[in-house]
């Protein structure tokens, strides 16, 4: 299985938002930091001033980064124990940056990267371009001898050294400790190493490149004058991980609109029963979906009827004192679930098309009604603030090895077409059998009359 991140380029220390810091799930972290700074809280007005207190917010962001890094470390450990590879392409995100913090301390998770060697962003950097040339010039045809007696190639580290690489002013001053950009189209991203090299640490690189035929040469060479049309072009990478292995996703909420299709990707992954890990207490749609998952988890609580009662639709009549999980899911009111999500997290800072709506809740509940076990076993919300490492790793291992993972939705195009064809094939065979039996019966009747 491949595990890939869906998040933003926002620096990990800038992930919290005003709305997130006000929600109840964030209150333990806010309280701990407030006590450590000696700030006393009195009433809602004081709380509102606290969430905009720069010193308090800076410390909260730093603590949140460490907790997120710990959660990503647990995800990487669970991936290693279940033989799951992490996968990334040319476009980096804070998921990869948090994962790198884990790699620097514990090299466990197997990492794979697929990129185009002549990406426009790499070709614009002299250092990155030379690194790519060094790799290609020192490459060898795959053989047993090469694998057994391989010699490491020492690459220049100037690209990742802020004292040498001055192409990006923020990197030259802060290194990886800070950057202000949160999307690929912002001016401040120009020249930053995360746009000039696919991944500082990986176990397997899959490079694509364009060749040129040189007159008199025995074989084609890389066309170093070619570059992709756009920077960090994912379309130029002719590798679809889902064609090789199932794909799981780690969703980290984005405070800004860098990932405008995160909601669509998340719902689509749930529909296809892809393993989905959502980091709770990260901004916007990730927080909303985490709240939805929390409501659904009440169905499998020790006392499910009591836990689900605030979300049960009273108009559907009373349910038994010992209801099944299916009965409780059927009884859930989408409106009450939506009201709970809105109460727990203020979505006023989100784009309208990225918020969970009542129709989204209805659609998700419909999926859960059809496949409750698949939802239970393939979706997990990790709370970096509360969840322990042991609990997270144990649950994630179960998610990554679930037999329901990546089961196709029954109304998806391919499966629907297959079922229709099988249905018509059965109908044709039955019709032909009926005609044969009718001919046989007619023949028997005529024979008996004579």
Q: Name 365's Cβ contacts closer than 8 Å, sequence gap at least 6.
A: 329, 332, 334, 337
Is 47 a residue whose pLDDT tops 70?
no
Q: Tell me: the pLDDT tens digits for 76-134?
A: 999 999 999 999 999 988 899 888 876 666 657 899 999 999 999 999 999 999 999 99
User: Strand, coil or helix: what is 153?
Assistant: coil
SS3 content of the chain, % helix, strand, coil (to 5): 55, 10, 40
Q: Tell me: the pLDDT tens digits for 322-331?
A: 888 888 999 9
* Max CA distance (Å), the chain: 110
The predicted pLDDT at position 296 comes to 95
The C-alpha atoms of residue 225 and residue 428 are separated, in whole angstroms, by 59
Q: Which residues pair with 85 in a beta bridge?
A: 2
**What's the full length of the chain, in residues?**
450
**Span 209-214, average pLDDT:** 82
The angle at the Cα of 178, spanning 175 to 179, to the nearest 5 degrees, equals 100
Let me know: does 70 contact 384? Beta carbons within 8 Å: yes
The predicted pLDDT at position 3 comes to 95
The percent of residues above 90 in pLDDT, for the chain, comes to 50
The predicted pLDDT at position 63 comes to 93
How would you classify residue 447: left for phi > 0, otherwise alpha for psi between -120 and 50, otherwise beta? alpha
The predicted pLDDT at position 42 comes to 60
**Span 48-72, average pLDDT:** 85
The predicted pLDDT at position 179 comes to 93
Q: Name 379's Cβ contacts closer than 8 Å, sequence gap at least 6.
A: 270, 275, 276, 278, 293, 399
The predicted pLDDT at position 269 comes to 92
Q: Tell me: the pLDDT tens digits for 319-377?
A: 778 888 888 999 999 999 999 999 999 988 888 888 999 999 999 999 999 899 999 99
Is 413 a residue whose pLDDT tops 60?
no
Inter-axis angle of helices 54-81 and 27-36, nearest 10: 130
Query: What is the sign, positive or negative, of the torsion defined by CA atoms of 227, 229, 233, 235?
Result: negative
The C-alpha atoms of residue 257 and residue 39 are separated, in whole angstroms, by 32
More confident residue, 103 or 59: 59
Q: Tell me: the pLDDT tens digits for 289-333?
A: 999 999 999 999 889 999 999 999 876 656 778 888 888 999 999
Is 420 a residue whose pLDDT tops 50?
yes
Task: Give the strand pairing for 211-212 and 221-222.
Answer: antiparallel
Tell me the DSSP string of 227-250.
--SSTT-STT----GGGTS-EEEE
**Span 242-260, average pLDDT:** 83
Is 74 a residue whose pLDDT tops 70?
yes
Q: What is the mean pLDDT of the chain?
A: 86
More confident residue, 255 or 265: 265
The C-alpha atoms of residue 423 and residue 418 are separated, in whole angstroms, by 9
**Span 407-422, average pLDDT:** 56
Q: Tell me the pTM.
A: 0.85
Is 34 a residue whose pLDDT tops 90?
no
Confidence of residue 411 (pLDDT cuts 50, 70, 90): very low
């Amino acid at each position: 299985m491949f595990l890939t991140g869906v998040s933003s380029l926002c620096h990990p220390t800038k992930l919290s938002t005003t709305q997130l810091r006000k929600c109840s799930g964030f209150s333990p972290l806010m309280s701990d930091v407030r006590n450590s700074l000696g700030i006393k809280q009195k009433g809602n007005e004081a709380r509102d001033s606290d969430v905009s207190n720069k010193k308090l917010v800076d410390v909260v962001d730093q603590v949140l980064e460490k907790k997120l890094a710990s959660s990503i470390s647990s995800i990487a450990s669970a991936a290693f124990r279940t033989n799951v590879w992490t996968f990334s392409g040319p476009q980096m995100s804070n998921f990869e940056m948090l994962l790198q913090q884990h790699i620097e301390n514990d090299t466990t998770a197997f990492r794979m990267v697929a990129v185009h060697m002549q990406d426009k962003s790499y070709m614009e950097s002299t250092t990155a371009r030379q690194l790519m040339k060094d790799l290609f010039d020192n490459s060898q045809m795959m053989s047993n001898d090469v694998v057994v007696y391989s010699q490491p190639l020492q690459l220049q580290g100037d690209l990742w050294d802020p004292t040498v690489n001055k192409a990006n002013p923020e990197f030259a001053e802060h290194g990886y400790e800070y950057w202000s950009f949160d999307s690929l189209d912002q001016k401040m991203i120009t020249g930053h190493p995360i746009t000039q090299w696919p991944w500082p640490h990986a176990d397997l690189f899959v490079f694509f490149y364009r060749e040129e035929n040189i007159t008199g040469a025995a074989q084609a060479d890389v066309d170093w004058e070619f570059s992709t049309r756009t920077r960090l072009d994912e379309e130029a990478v002719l590798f679809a991980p889902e064609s090789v292995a199932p794909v799981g996703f780690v969703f980290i909420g984005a405070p800004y609109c860098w990932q405008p299709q995160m909601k669509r990707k998340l719902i689509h992954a749930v529909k296809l029963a892809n393993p989905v890990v959502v980091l709770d207490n990260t901004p916007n749609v990730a927080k909303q979906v985490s709240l939805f998952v929390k409501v659904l988890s009440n169905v499998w609580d020790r006392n499910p009827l009591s836990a689900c009662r605030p979300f049960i639709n009273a108009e559907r009549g009373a349910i038994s004192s010992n209801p099944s999980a299916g009965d409780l899911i059927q009884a859930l009111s989408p409106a009450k679930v939506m009201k709970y999500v809105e109460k727990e997290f203020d979505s006023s800072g989100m784009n309208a098309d990225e918020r969970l709506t009542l129709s989204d809740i209805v659609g998700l509940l419909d999926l859960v009604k059809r496949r409750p076990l698949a939802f239970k076993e393939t979706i997990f919300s990790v709370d970096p603030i509360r969840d322990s490492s042991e609990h997270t790793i144990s649950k994630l291992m179960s998610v990554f090895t679930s037999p329901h993972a990546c089961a196709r939705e029954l109304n998806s195009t391919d499966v629907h077409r297959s079922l229709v064809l099988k249905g018509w094939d059965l109908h044709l065979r039955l019709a032909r059998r009926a005609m044969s039996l009718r001919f046989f019966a007619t023949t028997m009747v005529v024979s008996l009359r004579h």
